[in-house]
Structure formats: C-alpha cells, structure tokens
Amino acid sequence: MAVAIRTEGLTKDYGASRGLFDLDLDVSTGEVFGYLGPNGSGKTTTIRLLMDMVRPTRGRGEIFGVDCQAYPVEVKRMVGYLPGEMPQWGGLRGRDVVAYVGGLRGGLDPARVSGLTERLDLDLGRRYREYSSGNKRKLGLVLAFMHPSRLLVLDEPTNGLDPLIQQEFYRLVEEAAAEGVTVFLSSHVLAEVERACQRVGILRRGRLVQVARLDELHHLRYHRLEADFAGEVPADAVRAVAGVEEVSVEDHRLSCTVHGAFGPLLQVLGREQVLNLVTHEPTLEEVFLAYFRDPAEPAQAPVPTGGAR
Amino acid sequence: MTTVTPGADALAPPVRGPVRGSAGTMVRYGLRSHRWALAGVVFVGFVSPYSAAASYVAATGTAALRASFGRQTVALGPQLAYLVPLPIRPDTVAGYMWWKGLTWLTLIFAVWGLAAATGLIRNEEERGLMETWLAQPFGRLRLLLSRTAAFAVAALAAVVITGLGTAAGIAAGKGSVGVPALAGQGAALLGIALACFGIGLAAAQLAVTRRGALVLGGAVMLVLYILDALARVNPGLDGVAAISPFHLADITTAVVPGGHFDGGATAALFAIAAVLVGLSALAFQRRDLMAALVRRRPAETPVVRTPSANPLLRLPVLSSLWEQRIGMAGWVAGSILAAGLVVSIAHTTGKLLASVTGFQTFVHAAGTDSAATAVVSSVWLSISALIVAAFAIAQTSRWAGDDAGGKLEMEIAQPVPRWRVVAERGLTLVVAALVMTALGSLVTGAVAPSQGVHLDTGGLLTATALLVLLALTVAALGALVIARLPRIAVPVLAVIAVAGFYIPLLAPLFKWPGWALDLSLFHLYGTPLTTGVYWTGLWVMVAIVVIGFGGAMAAMRVREVGR
C-alpha cells in the first residue's frame, strides 16, 4: 500500500531533552492512524514538522512522497489541518472565517460547509469570540474537513467537544477513511484512538516507543502477578528473571509484572513453597499507561489533602 | 439551606498557607504590565517640556524678541483653543513650556489612564487571565484596588520624571520654579491620569470587549474634552465644564509665573477618580466575567450554516482591509479632521512664525517665503507623517498579534507560500495608507486656498506618495523585527518614531552633525511640498523597505510558527 506519511530520522531538538527525536514512521494511504502520547511528548511537534510550521534539526518528512520542507505549498494542497489550539479570530463571524480560509485555498463548496455545520450543529452567524471552546473546535473541524483533501492532520480533535458531537466526528473520520482519505489523529485519550483508529504510534519523551495495530497492543500486554510464600520471598532470583519488572516484596508477598512467557518465572517460584498465586491481565488503558510512564519518574507520593494532619 | 460564613465552621479542615492572596503580588504584576507604557510616557514626559523650553531659548535671544514672541503666541492661542488652553505668559520660558509642553502632556496622561484601565479589566478577561486571578483566594475588590494602586504608582513615577524635565527646561531657559509649584502642577497631572483611569475602569464594566471599552471611554473623554474646549472660547460654559477633568486640570498653572495651584480643582480630580473606581468596583463585584454590567438579551437570529458570500473575504489584501474596516474608518476620519484643523489655522500660525526671528529660519528651511505655506509644508505634513507612522506601528502590532494568536499558523497551513503573507501585509498597508493620505491631502488642497496658500498639485501628490513610502518604511522595520522578536516589535518602532520626532528638534539645539538628522525617519521624509523630494531620504527609505520586507520574507521562509 502506498505511503501517505513517511518520516526518516525526523528530529526537532529544542534543547534540554525537549522536542522530537529520530522519528521513523510510515502511515499508509487510507489508514486512520492514532498518535498517542502524554502532554509534551512531541505529538504537536511532529504535526508542526509535517505541516512545515517548524523546521527539523535533522531528518525529513514526506507526505504522499512530497518533501514537507522543500515543497510545503504542494503538501498543504493535499492536507486538511486542525491545529491543537484554535487561532484568535476575534470579532469575525464564523461564516467570515470560513470564507476567508476558503479564499486562501482558492474557493470552497458552500454545500459541503453547510453539511458539516449541520452535522456538527455549528452556527456560523455568531462572532468567533462569542463561541464556546467546543464551538471553536467545531469551527476548526469545519475548516479541516471543508476541502477535499487526501490527508487529514488533526491535533487533539475532540478537545472540548461534547459526546454527541464526538460521535459525529468519529463518523466523519470513518466516512473520510471510506473515501480513501488518510487520517493522522493525535490524542492523549486512548478511548478516542480505540474508537477511530486502526493503528497507533505511542510517543514518550519525544521518542516513538511503539507502533502497533490496536489488536497487537493487546499482545503487548503484560500480566500482573502476586504470590504468597510460606517462607522468605526469593526476590533476587525473581528480579533476575528476564521479562519480570516492578518487583516489590511486602512480608511474604511478592508482586511483579511479567512480560512474555511465564515459564522462567515459574521455575524460580517452584523452588519455594507458594501458598497462593494470582495473576491478572491489565486493561488496554493500563497498557497505555505503562508506555506513558516515565521510567525516570519516582513513584508518586500521596498528595496531602486539606484535611491531612 | 444553611449558610456557612468563612471561619464559622469549626469542622472544616485546616488550610495550610496564606488564606488570602497577596495584594503586593497583584500590585507588582500591575506595575509589570505598565512597564512599556510607563517607559514611553516617562520619555515623552521628560523630553516634551525640555524640548519646548529649548526651542523657546533658541527663538528668543533678547527681551524684545521674547516680548514679540509672547505677543504672537497669545495671538495664535485662540486658534488652538479647541486643542489646548490659552497661553499664559508665553514670553517667559515657564509660560511657554506650560503651554507648549505640559498642556499636551495632559492629553497623553489622560489617554494612558484610559488605555491602562481598559487593558487591566477587559484585556485580561479576553486573555483568560482574570479567571485565573479570581480562582485564587483573592476578592474582586482587592484585585481592582491593587491594580489601581499599581497604576497610581506608575503614574506618580511618570509625574516625577515630568517634573524633572520641567525643572531642567526652565533652568535651561534661565527661569526658575519652586518645588511647591512643580508639585502642584504634578498633582494636577496625576489627577487627570487617575480620573481618566477611572473613566476607563467604568467603561470597562459596561462594554464586553477591550475595544468596546476603549471606544466607550474614549467617547466619554472626547465629550468632556470638547466641553472643556468650548468653555475656553465661551467663558459662560465654565460652570458646566467643571465636570470635565480636562477643565479641572487646566485650571492649575502653578509653574507659570503668576500662575496658581487650584487645590479645589485638583482635589476634585482625585475625587472623580475615587468615585469612578468605587463605582467600578461595585459593578465589577456584581457582573459576570466576560459580560457587561447590563446584559442585553441576545436577539433570536436564524442559525447560519453557510459561509459568508462577501467576495472581499476571498480576495487577498481586500480581505484584510475588510477585517479592519472600522479601525480604518477611524484612521481616515482622524487624518481628515487633523488636516482640516491644522490647515485652517495656517495663516495665523504663519504670522507667528514670521514674526519671530528664531522661527524665520524655520520658514526659510521649509523652502518658501510664505509662512502660511511653511505651516502646511512643515507643520501639517509633519503631523501627517506622525499619523502614518502611528498607523504603520498599529499595523505592525496587528501582525504581531496575528502571529501570536495563531492566525499566521492557520494561514500558512493553507496552500499559500509563506512570502505571500508578508507581501500581503505590505500591500494592505500601502492601500490603507494611500486612502488615508490621499483623503487628508484632498482636504489640505481644498482648505489651503482659504488661508492664502496655493499648493502645487504635483507637489501635493509627491508629498502624499512619500507619506505612503514613509508608512511602508516604518512597517518594513516592523516586519523585520517581527520576524525575529515579535514581542518587542511595537516598543522598538515606538522608540524609533519618538526618537525620529525629536532628532530634528534637538539636533540644531545641540549642534549635532548633519548625518544625525538622517537617523530620523521624519527628516528622511523632508518637506516635499515646498523643497521637492529629498533624494537621499527617499533612497534611504526605499533601501529600508527593500531590506525590511526582503529580510522579512526571507525570515518568514525559515521561521518557526506556532504558539
């Protein structure tokens, strides 16, 4: 399948370990690709690099084979874009903003705009500054979807949208995908990606840590294990087992996570008298959080409340 | 329902840290937000009286010259009575400086007060800052009062510096003024600033946007100003004019020999400020954030689902002009009014210039023997140059706002080359400046014959075209600064413009070398109406335009966009 987005070693180094580093990514034509990561992980930087808003420190990005930095105008002819933060259009009415942006693209189809505003329940007669944050987002979606494009780049598109409009948005994405449009959707909401995307890339601290189909993410899942021992817990031996992480011991109880096969761990456990053994599968949300957790971060201390003494 | 008063609930969990927000922090933040305006007012506050005194010294070498100068200034006074009070003892350095420097400063302090107050309330609400402040343990009353205190401190600092400039100017003119007189004059200046701050604060409670508050407060101030102006030419209106802060400020003439400090009028200024701040505080406590005190019920309007059919919005340059049509109308109206006013008193002003030896050089420098023509050529076109420079700075501010507000990001997300954004900005400015200056020149051409001034059409066209070039030059500098440091673009341009205004005034007094004059954009513009094109200036301006916009386009190609 043809590639819609390709990046090779794409890097934007803002210094102090901030930015995006060595991104190698392929998004296929017609695919709905979710780009997941916590705040500050580099999602918006990636999008801005692809949209030629910021310039890479090194590496390159292509959209449908066209270099994003060398031929930005050609790239943007193919792209519908929703920025993470909507511009401040001030006193302009929604209909003026649509006409203005339409003018920049050389014209627009009023029927298409009308259809979108109907579905998103947006009144274009009001001034932009009177819009709620959700209505501003809706206007952004209209601006992104109102032109026939081959790729939709949407930065956290459902921020501020109510659940009903979110459902309508997902339908718009499905229809676009059905027409062969590629969708690149950044989010930090797993449920949104699960609902709309076929494949996801997970970013952490500016690095792509995983690209997988949604069903493959389930294969990546680990197991949480708890075991009660009659005697001493063989903590050192357990820690030495490949795939075992987050080992903690409390009295005679061992807790850990197990990635991959259980065999090597069971061999270690089998040498001791195990009174009780429990494992459970994490939810997809937990898988997601595991990827987002920064290994450098210390364990969170409980937050004192106003009533704490 | 049970009402719980703060502190009455013994079972409530203890709160660690300060229970109330620090007013000191808010005052400091308020002072920080005034820093640029304060710097500008302080600069003008020092230089304006001092340069007025310096020009007085240059024009009046002997007692006879001083007496003649004074008589002519008195004769000119009524012509300008709609703008500033009548001159008092203009034969003395202190009297002339009061009339030429301090009365104009009253306007600057008034406008500053209005802008500061509307910015404090509405601008911070529009930016969402007010919501953040009020989410802290900080009452609305404390917030408003702490910000008022911050402005009062900033205004006091500006008044002190103005006093120093006044004292220095009077000393340079070998006059003398006592500290009590300076203090009295300063108190009137502080009073007008605070009263207009109060007007702005009250207007901000009644309008929803900062622009709306500025328009409302500005309109109120304009009415009060006109009332004061009418009272100057019709003493029968003195009683009514007593409600005008401008009138109350004008009464104090403490620095003028024989003048006096009117304690009652000055106290009334502070009382007006206190009442307006108090009423604003009440209104602020009653109203919703992001809403006016009195909310208008929105009319039921049909839902609009289609884009605007306005063809102007789809066309480059015209879309930008359409977007700022109301502001543009204001600039054009201001330009026309200023042209009509200044040119209509060219004859009387010219008589003053012709009668004073020191100013006769000024007439000859304008390249004409007709003093009235010199007024149109030098005075009016200098004012026009200032207006177009201010317009260019306002446009630069708009561009910086577009960049910071995300509009630029949205524009270049469309299939348009980046250089087009810069080119479109420049073209929009050219069209707008052309409309402004052409209409101003039309009025000039129409009014001038009534003053005995017969202008050459070719010269007027040249002068108009060069005004557009001047606007483009200022904008080119702005575009270049925005490309690298958008936040400081407006202050940088303001410094360039103010310095450019004062360099031609101060250079002869301090005997600066000739090239120093070419550092002034206004000197580069020259006096094209009477002396023809100043070619060096023209080429320098063209070079700045080419380098500025060329550099801005090149920088736009590589600059990073995004908030």
pTM for this entry: 0.76
Nearest to B461 by CA among B370, B381, B343: B381
Long-range contacts of A24-29 (CB under 8 A, 24+ apart): A24/A208, A25/A201, A25/A208, A25/A211, A27/A3, A27/A182, A27/A184, A27/A199, A28/A1, A28/A2, A28/A3, A28/A4, A28/A182, A29/A1, A29/A2, A29/A3, A29/A4, A29/A64, A29/A150, A29/A180, A29/A182
User: How far is residue B477's CA from residue B470's CA, in Å, rounded to a whole number?
Assistant: 11
Contacts of A103 in chain B (CB under 8 A): 313-316, 319
Q: Residue written as tokens 């399948």? A: A1
- List the structure tokens of B363: 């007439």
Cβ within 8 Å, pair A113-B407: no
Question: What is the distance between the terminal CA atoms of chain B, rounded to a whole angstrom?
Answer: 47
Distance from CA of B120 to the nearest CA of A (A): 18
- List the structure tokens of A140: 């952004």
Note the pLDDT tens digit of each residue in B485-524. Answer: 888 888 899 889 888 888 887 777 677 888 888 899 999 9
Pick A103's closest partner by Cβ from B302, B313, B415.
Answer: B313
Pick A103's closest partner by Cβ from B301, B314, B562.
Answer: B314
User: How far is residue A302's CA from residue B99's CA, in Å, rounded to a whole number?
Assistant: 69
Note the pLDDT tens digit of each residue in B324-381. Answer: 998 899 899 989 988 888 888 888 777 766 766 556 666 666 667 777 888 887 777 8
State the greatest distance between any 2 C-alpha atoms of chain A, in Å, as a whole number: 77
- The DSSP call for residue A251 is T
- List the structure tokens of B220: 């109120």
User: Taking the domains of chain A in order of start, what are their residue ranges?
Assistant: 3-218, 221-292
CA dist B341 → B35, B440, B451 (Å): 34, 11, 12
Nearest to B525 by CA among B503, B548, B553: B503
> Which residues, 6+ apart, have CB-to-CB distance to A39 below 8 Å?
A188
* Mutant choice from A49, A77, A82, A104 vs B, greatest count of B C-beta within 10 A: A104
- List the structure tokens of B473: 């030059």
Nearest C-alpha in B relative to A86? B406
**Cβ pair A193, A187 in contact under 8 A:** yes
Distance from CA of A124 to the nearest CA of B (A): 5
β-partners of residue A228 are A253, A276
Name the strands in the sheet holding A253-258, side by side, starting at the edge strand that comes first in the sequence: A244-250, A253-258, A223-229, A274-280
> Which residues, 6+ apart, have CB-to-CB distance to B333 below 8 Å?
none
Note the pLDDT tens digit of each residue in B435-462. Answer: 999 999 999 999 988 888 888 888 899 9
> CATH for A221-292?
3.30.70.100
Q: Residue written as tokens 């006093």? A: B163
Cβ within 8 Å, pair B413-A51: yes
Looking at residue B277, what is its pLDDT? 96
Q: Is A225 helix (H, G, I), strand (E, B) or coil?
A: strand
User: Taking the domains of chain B in order of start, what are their residue ranges?
Assistant: 29-291, 314-563
**Cβ pair A153, A173 in contact under 8 A:** no
User: How far is residue B418's CA from residue B416's CA, in Å, rounded to a whole number?
Assistant: 6
Given 3.90.550.10, 3.40.50.720, 3.40.50.300, 3.40.630.30, which CATH number is that of A3-218?
A: 3.40.50.300
Contacts of B16 in chain A (CB under 8 A): 306
Q: Does B17 touch chain A (CB under 8 A)?
A: no
User: How far is residue A29's CA from residue A150's CA, in Å, rounded to a whole number?
Assistant: 9
Nearest to B122 by CA among B33, B218, B213, B219: B213
Q: Is B463 helix (H, G, I), strand (E, B) or coil?
A: helix
Question: What is the distance between the terminal CA atoms of chain A, rounded to a whole angstrom?
Answer: 62
Amino acid at B198: G
Q: Residue written as tokens 């201010």? A: B390
Contacts of A106 in chain B (CB under 8 A): 415
Cβ within 8 Å, pair B307-A77: no
Q: Does B290 touch chain A (CB under 8 A)?
A: no
**Cβ pair A81, A142 in contact under 8 A:** no
User: How far is residue A191's CA from residue A210's CA, in Å, rounded to a whole number?
Assistant: 17
Contacts of A57 in chain B (CB under 8 A): none
Nearest C-alpha in B relative to A71? B417
Cβ within 8 Å, pair B303-A125: yes
Nearest to A23 by CA among A199, A206, A189: A206
Q: Which residues of chain A have pLDDT under 70?
A: 1, 218-221, 281-309
User: How far is residue B386's CA from residue A223's CA, in Å, rounded to a whole number?
Assistant: 74
Q: Which residues of chain B have pLDDT under 70?
A: 1-23, 78-80, 82, 352-353, 355-367, 509, 563
User: How far is residue B457's CA from residue B465's CA, in Å, rounded to a whole number?
Assistant: 12
Q: Per residue, what are the HEC states of B167-223?
A: HHHHHHCCCCCCHHHHHHHHHHHHHHHHHHHHHHHHHHHHCCCHHHHHHHHHHHHHH
Nearest to A208 by CA among A5, A62, A42: A42
Q: Is B536 helix (H, G, I), strand (E, B) or coil?
A: helix
CA B318, B321, B326, B328 dihedral sign is negative
Contacts of A105 in chain B (CB under 8 A): 414-415
Interface size, chain A vs chain B, as Cβ–Cβ contacts under 8 Å: 124
Contacts of B562 in chain A (CB under 8 A): 44, 48, 53-54
Q: Residue written as tokens 């004859």? A: B347
Amino acid at A129: R
Contacts of A52 in chain B (CB under 8 A): 412
- Cβ-in-10-Å burial (0-12, 13-18, 19+) of B304 comes to middle
Nearest C-alpha in B relative to A88? B405
